[in-house]
Chains A and B, each alone.
Chain A
Amino acid sequence: MRYFGQKLIQLVIVVFVVTFVVSLALGAIPNAEERIIASTGQGVFTEEDRNAILDEVHLRDPAVVQYGYFVKDLVTFDWGVTFGGNQSVRSSIWDGLQISLRLMVYAQLVALLLAIPLALLAAYRNGGVFDRVSTTVSFGFISLPNYVLATVLGLLFTVRWKIFPALSKNVGFFEAPFDHFKNFFLPTLVLALPLAATYMRLLRSDLINTLQSDFITTARAKGLSTSHILFGHALRPSLFSLLTAAAVNVGALVGGSVVVETAFNLNGLGRKTVVGIFSSEFRLVQITVVVLALVYVFINFLADIVYGLLDPRVRGARSV
């Protein structure tokens, strides 16, 4: 419980820092006032009009007051509308979040589904042909930037073979499962392959160490089957690095999703952030950054909790 409480306090501190910095970021933007005025597209000829618009975004208030308004708007979901198109920021972010979360979840699942069996095989036949080939290939995928992968896979699967669309659309899974698969396959693959390579190498390394442990030797001596030894005894204690990497890579996925969403024209949160920055949609960008940060922090918080569940020693050690 103490361990949980500590993690919760850390989470609150991180959330405070993120929201405070983001709330003040607006004032640090060059020509912020003029950009806001220009972004409205409206004729602003009097000082009064100008002040009214700027007052609305609290740009000239003290930092603490700005933060107060920001948090109030944040928790009451009063996120306003975009300058361009006057779209609700809340629905815009919700639309984008659905896409980004799908991509993150699919990519993590595919990466884990690829990495775990490959790592088990490679570790079991450590030094063998499969181990060497899989290690080399995974090294290649880790070195390959995802924009290169997106371009290559895009050209092959969309332009040349016309199997998948070049522009992915946000088709719901229950709305049209096959179309959903077609539209999310390539973006998921681009995110998942480098991730799978990283996971595979980490897990393989940990498994090799675990397989040299005394309790594995004992298990072998007792005549347990290979699959029983691998899945029942070796895998669980080897999962720590993988779990850490999976949690930390949520951040990488957020970053990676910017590239992938742009490459496949998916209007997820990553792309919205980039486009928002270029089109001076400050409020959209602020909220998006906070949402992404919260997702990241929350997943890492969960990972910390899972550590404790996987190994009670962690709870004891970390709560000291």
Chain B
Amino acid sequence: MKSASHVRRRPGVLIGAIAVSFGLLAAACGGDDGGSSSSGGDTTAAPAETTAPTPATQPPADTETPVPGGKLVMGLEADTSSPWTPAAMVCAISCHMVARTVYDTLMIPGSDNQPQPYLAESVTPNADFTEWRITARTGVKFHDGTDFDGAAIVDNISRHQSALLTGTALLDLASIEVDPADPMTAVATTKKPWATFPWFLTGQIGYMASPTWLAASDADATLQSQPVGTGPFVYADYKPNEYYKGTKNADYWNAPYPYLDEIEFIPITDGLKRRDALKAGDIDVLHSGNGEVITEFRESSDFESIEITKNGETAYTLLHVTKEGSPIADRRVRCAMAHATDNATVNEVVSFGVNQLANGPFSPDQVGYLEDSGYPLVQDMAKAQELIAEYKAENPGELKIALATTTDATNLVIANYQKGWWEEAGMDEVTIDQIDQANYIVTALLGNFEVFQWRNHGGVDLDQQYFWWHSSSSLDVGSLALNFGRIKDAALDALLEENRAITDPARKQEIAEEVNRLFATECYNLWGSYQVWMIAHKPEFKGFAAANLILPGGMEALEGSGIAGTFYPSTIWKAG
């Protein structure tokens, strides 16, 4: 039987599904829409109206009455190869699934497409958005008995400021201190107006860990794998690449959640193995972006599924656009590659037609999506050959580029397609470098590449892409930087900065659309497809739709739970 929330089937392409989405895009992916629920938020954070793309309905909550008890075992696509301290986590999708059991975020994306207070009682700005007051919810304790207060917020967010990855997202945060007049409130002061700051509290930066535990972890590193938060499940046990176990937090502040008594995560990196484990009964639920698995569970009568397509990630080919001496630095070469690419073929061969072809960084439900961004969706080899010929006329000598991919067989197939297209377009040689996953990420951070298969840019507000594209995070090759493609574009910077400072939805929409067009004109990246994620589960388990999580203000959480391929563990229950 299919779940009522089974969404849609969209044709498209899955290009280079490199599972690299750092947690600081945290607030990124998610569902959109408004549709539902009373927005009675007690204390809204962000200004009344911000982003809000076209509202749409989101999958409804289950209508049956939840039953407490039971255990859920989930197959994850990966383990998290980092400590569980929020500032040090290298947090992809699987990491967020685990983190949501033990931690709560200060805010959660609400069904109105706005960040809503969750663990925070309120998050309020001053008039020019240069100061944000984050007030802790009263009466909440961490699992170790430590009080959750303003000092805990300060401790957690301060640690992010000096963190390798998340620190880049907070470059515009000048300071964060406890309000001397109110120990429950932390005051964050920004270097310039930052109207969208609350979005950063919905993801990794918003996870609140016990200061007592953090201090102990500083002294004893082995404690870093035993997280302590305020979340719905208390850490029970963890063995890297084997399992993570949590037990019900009986004193959870947001009752009646959680419903389950126990939860366990098992990393199973092979998507087809994960499917087999569900079919064999070893696990109760899985998440997958694999076209074959998605297609199979769509047709299955033994399992239910929910698909998360909104505000998700885009699979694309990342280009290093400012590398000295590289032909990729020339716009004509980049655009020739775009014209020569035939995503539809890859879609049919690799992805079983699951995804939708992408013409920009923003999927149809994200602010800034355009039906026609100007980016070529159909292969035009003649145009590609013309551009390459023009470049070669001005730049004698051989045109050679290096394309990097992971050791994954599917990605290699795609890389070989790309090599064929680009050489047909007139490039003299496209070499393919296969790099293991760990080195792949570091290579991107260092900027040691020309062409890279990648996946990123989920989110609701354009500001969530700021650190990926702004020149302030475009460091020299050899320095670790999150602007992997080393884009340095004054026009793009200006648009990102303006978007960060304003709340007018119409203008924000215009800005995001301008960014989209700019990417198409400059061919900064080669867009592939918008990634669909499926949660497939045994029919006796319920509550996977984000609408099942009612926020303290009465609003439903946003579909997609804020990050693609995830759900809120606290809302899951097992039917008798």
Chain B residues with CB below 8 A from A154, complex form: 276
> CB distance B225 to A265 under 8 Å?
no
| Nearest B residue to A284, CB-CB | B240
**CB-CB < 8 A to B462: which residues of A?**
none
**Given contacts A95-B239, A155-B276, is CB(A167)–CB(B268) below 8 Å?**
yes
A34 touches B162 (CB 8 A): no
Other-chain contact of B242, A83, A158, A166, A267 (Cβ < 8 Å): A267
* Interface residue? B446 (CB, 8 A): yes
A residues 33-85 touching B (CB-CB < 8 Å): 34-35, 37-45, 81-85
- Verify if B448 is at the interface (C-beta below 8 Å from A): yes
Tell whether, in the assembled complex, residue A35 and residue B240 are in contact, meaning their CB atoms are under 8 Å apart: no
Residues in B neighbouring A40, C-beta threshold 8 A? 88, 164
Chain A residues contacting B438 (CB-CB under 8 Å) are: 35, 39, 277-280
For residue A38, give the distance in angstroms from its CB to the closest CB of chain B: 5
Answer whether residue A31 sits at the interface, using C-beta atoms and an 8 A cutoff: yes
B413 within 8 A of A: no
Q: Does A165 contact B (CB under 8 A)?
A: yes
A43 touching B163, Cβ below 8 Å: yes
In the complex, the answer to whether B268 meets A265 with C-beta atoms within 8 Å is yes
Bound Cα distance A95, B241 (Å): 12
Q: Mark B436-451, 1 if CB is under 8 A from A, else 0.
A: 1111011101101000
Chain A hits for B225, CB < 8 A: 85-87
B277 at the interface (CB under 8 A from A): yes
Using an 8 Å CB-CB cutoff, how does the interface string of B152-164 with A read, 1 for contact, 0 for none? 0000000000111
Q: Is B26 an interface residue (CB 8 A)?
A: no
- Chain A residues contacting B162 (CB-CB under 8 Å) are 43, 45
Query: CA of A280 to CA of B440 in the docked complex: distance in angstroms?
Result: 11
Q: How far is the CA of A84 from the CA of B164 in the complex (A)?
A: 14
* Bound: A84/B94 CA distance, A: 14
Which of B239, B283, B442 lies in contact with A35, CB distance below 8 A? B442
Q: Is the CB of B446 within 8 A of A34?
A: yes
Chain A, Cβ-Cβ closest to B446: A34
B89 contacts the other chain (CB 8 A): yes
Q: What range describes how many residues of A lie at the interface?
A: 35 or more
The 0/1 profile, CB within 8 Å of A marked 1, for residues 69-105 of chain B is 0000000000111111001111000000000000000
Could you tell me the distance between the alpha carbons of A134 and B261 in the complex, rounded to whole angstroms?
A: 53
The yes or no answer to A159 lying at the interface (CB within 8 A) is yes
Pick the contact of B442: A38, A86, A166, A267 (CB < 8 A). A38
Cα A298 to Cα B280 in complex, Å, equals 39
B241 — which chain A residues lie within 8 A by C-beta? 267, 271-272, 275
Once A84-B240, A87-B240, A166-B282 are accepted as A-B contacts, the answer to whether A38 and B480 lie under 8 Å apart by CB is yes
Beta-carbon contacts of A256-297 to B below 8 Å, as 1s and 0s?
000000110101000110010111110000000000000000
Min CB gap A95→B, angstroms: 7
CA distance A231 to B569 in the complex (A): 62
In the complex, what residue of chain B is closest to A263 when comparing beta carbons?
B273
B278 vs chain A, min Cβ distance (A): 9
Interface residues of B in 260-309 (CB under 8 A from A): 266, 268, 270, 273, 276-277, 279-283
A84 neighbours in B (Cβ, 8 Å): 79-83, 240
Contact of A85 among B83, B266, B439 (CB under 8 A): B83
Interface check B222, CB cutoff 8 A: yes
Q: Which residue of A lies closest to B85 (CB)?
A: A41
Q: B66 near A: Cβ within 8 Å?
A: no
For the complex, give the distance between the alpha carbons of A86 and B441 in Å.
Answer: 20
Q: Which of A81-105 contact B (CB under 8 A)?
A: 81-88, 92, 95
A277: nearest chain-B partner, CB-CB: B436
Q: From A30, A45, A87, A166, give the contact of B280 (CB < 8 A).
A: A166
| A-chain residues with CB within 8 Å of residue B224 when the two chains form the complex | 85-86
B409 in the interface, Cβ–Cβ < 8 Å?
A: no
Q: Kindly provide the distance from the CB of A161 to the nearest chain B CB, expressed in whole angstroms.
A: 9
* B165 on the A face (CB < 8 A): yes
Q: Given A38-B442, A159-B276, A280-B438, do A267 and B239 touch, yes or no (CB 8 Å)?
A: yes
Residues in B with CB closer than 8 Å to A88 are 222
Q: In the complex, A30 Cα to B449 Cα: how many Å?
A: 14
A42 near B221 with CB under 8 A, answer no
In Å, the complex CA distance between A93 and B266 comes to 19
Considering residues A40, A43, A45, A83, which has the most beta carbons from chain B within 10 angstroms of its beta carbon?
Answer: A43
CA distance in complex: A122, B165 (Å): 64
> CA separation between A83 and B282, bound complex, in Å?
29
Contact A85 B238 (CB under 8 A): yes
CB <8 Å contact, A41 and B165: yes
Residues of chain B within 8 A (CB-CB) of A85 are 80-84, 224-225, 238, 240
9 CB < 8 A contacts A-B:
A35-B438, A44-B164, A84-B240, A85-B82, A85-B224, A88-B222, A167-B268, A275-B79, A279-B437
